[in-house]
Amino acid sequence: MAAGLPLLRRVIAVDAAISRFLHTLFHPYFPTALLLLLEISADFRFSFPICLALLFSPLSPALLPLFSPLLFGLLLDLAVVGLTKAIFRRQRPPYNHSSMSAVVAVDKFSFPSGHSTRVFFVASLVSLSGTAIEAALLELKAGGGLAEQWIVGGDEGRVVEIVAIGVFAWAAITASSRVFLGRHFFLDVVAGVCLGVLEGLVAFRFLRFENFLR
């Protein structure tokens, strides 16, 4: 164990150096307002109420195979990230300015990045739920209205692809912004991305309670 400590310290030092370099390089080129907007979009206190609202929307019956694992997966993410941060207790970068924040931080720990886990959990779940989303689009299209006007012919699959690409783009930009904004170190984000994808797989496989929510 003791032999591994120097290697761990070196990894942490390299991570800190890379993170500061990326923050210094990219932060001037990204408007702070945009970075803060991305921060808000991935905050649990913003995403969870939206998920609850979607459950009561007209889209809910058709998209329950997506909304149910999304709802319970967000709760799983909150618990897993909170527990992991409590175990590792890594401090945030010294150049992180908590006063320049769109949201009130609920903790001072950095590893892993909760925003990164959350956005990649959502992106992974949306990608895995492509069949359910396509079925929902067909159902909405059959009901007429705007869906029938927007989706022509058999373009439902194409729409699902565009949605998935858009969500993954949002996830990648948001995760990167955590380093650019100085909220997290690079490895915090990498760990968050991996954990988020794993959460998406778990939620898709084990947290589909749409029959219970109907």
Distance separating alpha carbons of residues 145 and 5, to the nearest angstrom = 62
Residue-wise pLDDT tens digits, 123-147: 999 999 988 888 877 776 665 555 5
Q: For residue 115, indicate whether it is catalytic.
A: yes
Taking a C-beta distance cutoff of 8 angstroms, is the pair 115, 174 a contact? yes
List the structure tokens of 106: 């609920």
Rounded (5°) CA angle 135-136-142? 90
Tell me which of 1 and 180 has the higher pLDDT.
180
- Tell me which of 23, 27, 97, 115 is the catalytic residue: 115
Residue-wise pLDDT tens digits, 2-36: 556 788 899 999 999 999 999 999 988 888 888 88
Q: For residue 23, indicate whether it is catalytic.
A: no
- Tell me which of 23, 27, 97, 184 is the catalytic residue: 184
CA torsion 26-29-30-31 (nearest 10°) is: 140
Taking a C-beta distance cutoff of 8 angstroms, is the pair 65, 210 a contact? yes
Residue-wise pLDDT tens digits, 66-116: 888 999 999 999 999 999 999 999 999 998 866 455 454 557 889 999 999
Distance separating alpha carbons of residues 198 and 66, to the nearest angstrom = 16
What pLDDT score was predicted for residue 210? 64
What pLDDT score was predicted for residue 59? 62
